[in-house]
Amino acid sequence: MFGVGPEELVLVLIVALLVLGPERLPRMARDVGRVVGELRRTSDEFRAEFLNADKYLEKPASAPAAVSSPAVPATTPGDPNESAFDREMREARERLAASREKPAT
């Protein structure tokens, strides 16, 4: 855990006990535990949202090559120095914009 061994951890706990006192140390530990739990939940939610973001986009009923309507603007070739991640993000933004332009059925 961050390169802290058991001896250092015991030393930190003793110093915390001396500084905070036996009355405030349990309350402080509870508050720290609550904050760490909230941060962990927020991190897990953010990670899940990020990994499942493509599921929120509407899937086309047919293959993209079979679409004959010009509802989706033709993609222009990107910058030759564009990375694969940048290209995927650009294409995702274009799909999202196209799905927003589509009327609700």
Written as six digits, the tokens of 53 are 């973001």
Radius of gyration of the chain (CA): 26
Domain residue extents for the chain = 1-51, 58-105
Kindly report, residue by residue over 10-23, the tens digit of the pLDDT.
898 899 889 988 89
Backbone angles phi, psi at 94, to 5 degrees: -65, -40
Nearest to 16 by CA among 5, 28, 30: 28
Kindly report, residue by residue over 51-78, the tens digit of the pLDDT.
887 776 666 555 555 444 444 444 455 6
What is the Cα–Cα distance from 93 to 57, expressed in whole angstroms?
10
56: which DSSP letter? G
